[in-house]
Structure 1
Amino acid sequence: MTTTEPRTQKMIGASVLRREDRRLLTGAATYLDDLELPGCYEAAFVRSPHAAARIVSIDTSAAAAMPGVLGVWTGADLPEIAKGIPPKVVHPQLRDVPRVPLPADFVKFVGEPVAVVVATSRYVAEDALDLVEVEYDVLPAVSSTGAALAASAPLVHEGAENNIAIHVVQTAGDPAAAMDAAPHRLRERFTVARGGGHSMETRGVAARFDPTTEQLVVWDTTQSPHYVRNTLAYLYDMPEDGIRVVAPPDVGGGFGPKAQFYGEEAVIPWVARLLRNPVKWVEDRRENFVATMMERTQVHDVEIGFDDDGHILAIRNVFEHDQGAYCAGLQVPMITLSTLPGQYRIPNIHTELIACYTNMVPTSSVRGAGRPQAVVAMERMVDRAAEHLGMDPVEFRRRNLVQADEFPYRVGLTFRDGSPLTYDSGNFPLLLEKTLSAFRYEEQRSLQAAARAEGRLVGIGIAAYVEGCGLGPYEGSRYRLLNDGTVLVTLAAAPQGQGYETVYAQIAADALGMDMDLIRVTTGDTSRIPFGQGTFASRNTATAGPATLQAGQEMRGKLLQVAEAMLKTSAASLTIRGNRVEVTDDPTRSVSLRDIAGAANVGKHGITLAPGILPGLETTVYFAPERAAYASGTHAVAVEIDPETGAIDVLRYVIGHDCGNVMNPMLVDGQVLGGFAHGVGNAMYEEPFYDETGQPQSTSYLDYSLPSSMEVPPVELVHIHTPSPLNPLGAKGAGEGGTIPVPAAIANAVEDALRPFGARITSLPITPPKIVDALSTDDLDGTGPWHG
Structure 2
Amino acid sequence: SAGLEPMTTGQSIVGPYRIENYHCEAYGVLTNKCPGGPDRGVGTVQGVFVIERIMDMIAQALNMDPAEVRDRNFIQPHELPYETVAGRLYDSGDYPGSLEKLLQLSEYQDLRLAQQRARANGEHLGIGISCFVEHTSTGSQDYHKRGVYGLPAFDSATIQVDPRGNITAAVSAQSTGQNHESVFANLVARELGVPYATVKIIEGDTDATPFGSGTGVSRSAVSTGGAIRLAAQDIKQKVLELARFFLENEEGELDIAGGEVFVKADPARRVSFARVAASAYDASREVSLPENIERGLRVTRSFDPPHQVFGNGAHLAVVRVTPETGVVKLEKYFVVEDCGTIMDHVVVEGQVVGAVAMGIGNALLEELRYDEGGQLLTGSLMDYLVPTSMDIPEIQTLHTESPSPFTEGGVKGVGEAGTVGAYTAVANAVADALLPFSVELTEPPVGPERVWNMIKMAQGNR
TM-score, scaled relative to structure 1: 0.54
CA–CA separation in structure 2 for the residues paired with 1:592 and 1:448: 61
Q: Which of 662, 669, 675 does residue 355 from structure 2 map onto? A: 675
**Residue 658 (structure 1) shift:** 0.8
Identify the structure with the greater strand proportion. Answer: 1
Aligned to 1:183: none
Matched, 1:644 2:324: yes
Aligned to 1:627: 307
User: Cα 1:514–1:753, aligned 2, differ >3 Å: closer, same or farther?
Assistant: same
CA–CA separation in structure 1 for the residues paired with 2:23 and 2:231: 43
Matched, 1:431 2:98: yes
Does the 8 Å CA contact 1:603/1:609 hold for their aligned counterparts? no
Q: Which of 115, 125, 138 does residue 448 from structure 1 map onto? A: 115
Does the 8 Å CA contact 1:583/1:590 hold for their aligned counterparts? no
Does the 8 Å CA contact 2:33/2:376 hold for their aligned counterparts? no
The total of aligned residue pairs comes to 445
Aligned to 1:410: 83
CA–CA separation in structure 2 for the residues paired with 1:692 and 1:557: 66
CA–CA separation in structure 1 for the residues paired with 2:250 and 2:231: 22
Any residues of structure 2 matched to 1:385-404 within 5 Å, and which? 385-404=58-77
**Residue 539 (structure 1) shift:** 1.3
After alignment, is 580-589 or 461-470 more displaced? 580-589
CA–CA separation in structure 2 for the residues paired with 1:445 and 1:578: 52
Aligned to 1:356: 29
CA–CA separation in structure 1 for the residues paired with 2:226 and 2:168: 17
Aligned to 1:342: 15
User: Cα 1:532–1:775, aligned 2, differ >3 Å: closer, same or farther?
Assistant: same
Q: Which of 470, 477, 481 does residue 157 from structure 2 map onto? A: 477
**Residue 380 (structure 1) shift:** 0.9
Where does structure 2 lack aligned partners over 5 or more consecutive residues? 140-152
CA–CA separation in structure 2 for the residues paired with 1:335 and 1:658: 20
Any residues of structure 2 matched to 1:223-302 within 5 Å, and which? none
Does the 8 Å CA contact 2:157/2:301 hold for their aligned counterparts? yes
Identity of aligned residues (%): 36
Q: For residues 639-677 of structure 1, give each alpha carbon's deviation from its aligned partner in whole angstroms, at most 9, with x where no partner exists.
A: 111122221122221111111111111111110000001
Bigger RCO (CA 8 Å, 6+ sep): 2
CA–CA separation in structure 2 for the residues paired with 1:389 and 1:641: 25
SS of 2:431's partner is: helix
CA–CA separation in structure 2 for the residues paired with 1:646 and 1:467: 31
Aligned to 2:133: 466
Does the 8 Å CA contact 1:495/1:535 hold for their aligned counterparts? yes
Matched, 1:761 2:441: yes
Q: Which of 618, 632, 636 does residue 298 from structure 2 map onto? A: 618
Residue type matched to 2:216 in 1?
F
SS of 1:413's partner is: coil
SS of 2:25's partner is: strand
Aligned to 2:407: 727
**Residue 476 (structure 1) shift:** 1.8
Residue type matched to 2:118 in 1?
A
SS of 2:57's partner is: helix
Does the 8 Å CA contact 2:34/2:376 hold for their aligned counterparts? no
Residue type matched to 1:560 in 2?
L
Any residues of structure 2 matched to 1:558-597 within 5 Å, and which? 558-570=238-250, 572=252, 576=256, 578-579=258-259, 581=261, 590=271, 593=274, 595-597=275-277
**Residue 694 (structure 1) shift:** 2.2
Identify the structure with the greater helix proportion. Answer: 2
CA–CA separation in structure 1 for the residues paired with 2:423 and 2:269: 63
CA–CA separation in structure 2 for the residues paired with 1:441 and 1:743: 20
SS of 2:420's partner is: coil
Q: For residues 575-613 of structure 1, give each alpha carbon's deviation from its aligned partner in whole angstroms, at most 9, with x where no partner exists.
A: 6465555677586874562x5444423669xxx963564
CA–CA separation in structure 2 for the residues paired with 1:709 and 1:750: 20
User: Cα 1:592–1:553, aligned 2, differ >3 Å: closer, same or farther?
Assistant: closer
User: Cα 1:577–1:387, aligned 2, differ >3 Å: closer, same or farther?
Assistant: closer
Any residues of structure 2 matched to 1:736-755 within 5 Å, and which? 736-755=416-435
After alignment, is 569-578 or 484-493 more displaced? 569-578
RMSD, aligned α-carbons: 2.3
CA–CA separation in structure 2 for the residues paired with 1:737 and 1:725: 20
Q: For residues 33-66 of structure 1, give each alpha carbon's deviation from its aligned partner in whole angstroms, at most 9, with x where no partner exists.
A: xxxxxxxxxxxxxxxxxxxxxxxxxxxxxxxxxx
**Residue 700 (structure 1) shift:** 1.6
Residue type matched to 2:305 in 1?
P
CA–CA separation in structure 2 for the residues paired with 1:392 and 1:587: 62
SS of 1:689's partner is: coil
Does the 8 Å CA contact 2:191/2:233 hold for their aligned counterparts? yes
**Residue 741 (structure 1) shift:** 2.1
Q: Which of 192, 203, 215 does residue 523 from structure 1 map onto? A: 203
User: Cα 1:592–1:345, aligned 2, differ >3 Å: closer, same or farther?
Assistant: closer
Does the 8 Å CA contact 1:470/1:539 hold for their aligned counterparts? yes
Larger Rg: 1
CA–CA separation in structure 2 for the residues paired with 1:477 and 1:571: 31
User: Cα 1:652–1:596, aligned 2, differ >3 Å: closer, same or farther?
Assistant: same
TM-score, scaled relative to structure 2: 0.90
CA–CA separation in structure 2 for the residues paired with 1:486 and 1:575: 18
CA–CA separation in structure 2 for the residues paired with 1:357 and 1:374: 20
Any residues of structure 2 matched to 1:541-556 within 5 Å, and which? 541-556=221-236
Does the 8 Å CA contact 1:561/1:612 hold for their aligned counterparts? no
Matched, 1:663 2:338: no
Q: Which of 83, 89, 104 does residue 422 from structure 1 map onto? A: 89
CA–CA separation in structure 1 for the residues paired with 2:371 and 2:270: 78
SS of 1:740's partner is: helix
Does the 8 Å CA contact 1:563/1:571 hold for their aligned counterparts? no
Aligned to 2:461: 782
SS of 1:636's partner is: strand
Aligned to 2:144: none
